[in-house]
Amino acid sequence: MAALDEAAWLVGSAIGLAPDQLDEALERELAASEIDRLDTLVRRRIDGRIPVAYLLNEAWFAGHRFYIDERALIPRSLIAEYILEHFQPWIDEDRVHSVLDLCTGSGCIAIAIALEFPRAHVDAADISADALTVAVKNLEAYSLDDRVELIQSDLFDALEDRCYDIIVSNPPYVPPSSMPGLPEEYKHEPALALVAEDNGLELVARILAQAAGHLNEGGLLIVEVGESREALEQRFSHLPFTWLGHESGEETVFLLNRADLIGAN
């Protein structure tokens, strides 16, 4: 997020306005209490290098507002773009009735999918009980308890024989060696949601090994791997990864279908 965007977000929070409402309030004089609140937020942001999302307990993902705190990763997955596009043109959205969000964290991906696919049931799995507590707050805010199920699970371990039309995941993929070079802000986020051994491939490799057994015929696996893309392609050169383009220019989200996974395992 650009510094100007962060500044607008902080000012908006201090005076009770959304960032897109600030242009209409440029001539407004802040009250003393608003100035004090803004000063406190800015000092905490600068001195403590605390991410704005944690300062405000607010994050935006796929056009929706979510509660967030330091028990869960800040929502920023590139998968948001594909959710809003209804995973087109890779699957007929009318046949999407069951979706799994692995490593759901705050539940933002699962909830965004449920909002875009009103006829789909979504399972949201995470190993972290703390992260799932955050997800519960978001689930309640959107009244989706009847279509989104939160499950504490180490990847597929607690999912037994459940199968899905789509499996999406933004798993931990940062190699331990890369952590010291990340901005200080990342140290406020749970390491469990960021770091993966084995060149960042520890969880991704497990997902690739097990996903076919949890996909329906014609089902899709969509996974974000960040900087681990090169290592992934080297190790799994036999898999026909489709790398999804993104408006940011990044191509770090891959897509595979069930047939690709069955033929390679």
Residue 265, pLDDT score: 57
Q: Can you read off the two tokens belonging to residue 81?
A: 């773009």
Residues 40 and 100 in one domain: no
Residue 95 in any domain: the answer is yes
Residue 263, pLDDT score: 63
- Average the pLDDT over each of 114-118, 163-167, 211-215, 261-265 and give the range with the smallest value: 261-265
Residues 25 and 88 in one domain: no
Residues 133 and 258 in one domain: yes
Residue 260 in any domain: the answer is yes
Residues 13 and 98 in one domain: no
For residue 13, what are the contacts with CB-CB under 8 A and spacing of at least 6? 41, 56, 58
Residues 127 and 258 in one domain: yes
What digits encode the pLDDT tens for the residues 89-105? 999 999 999 999 999 99
Residue 60 in any domain: the answer is no
Residues 112 and 230 in one domain: yes
Confidence of residue 3 (pLDDT cuts 50, 70, 90): confident
Residue 236 in any domain: the answer is yes
13: containing domain: 3-48
Residues 160 and 202 in one domain: yes
Residues 85 and 195 in one domain: yes
Residue 63 in any domain: the answer is no
Residues 218 and 101 in one domain: yes
Residue 85 in any domain: the answer is yes
Residues 133 and 207 in one domain: yes
Residue 59 in any domain: the answer is no
Confidence of residue 61 (pLDDT cuts 50, 70, 90): very high
Residues 98 and 219 in one domain: yes
Q: Can you read off the two tokens belonging to residue 246?
A: 């993104």
Q: What is the mean pLDDT of residues 232-240?
A: 95
Has residue 264 got a pLDDT over 70?
A: no
* pTM of this structure: 0.91
Distance of CA 190 to the CA centre of its chain: 14
What is the total count of domains within the chain?
Answer: 2
- Average the pLDDT over each of 39-43, 67-71, 184-188 and give the range with the smallest value: 39-43
What digits encode the pLDDT tens for the residues 115-161? 999 999 999 999 999 999 999 999 999 999 999 999 999 999 999 99
Residue 159 in any domain: the answer is yes
CATH number for the domain spanning 121: value is: 3.40.50.150
Task: Provide the residue type at 144 as one letter.
Answer: L
Residues 156 and 251 in one domain: yes
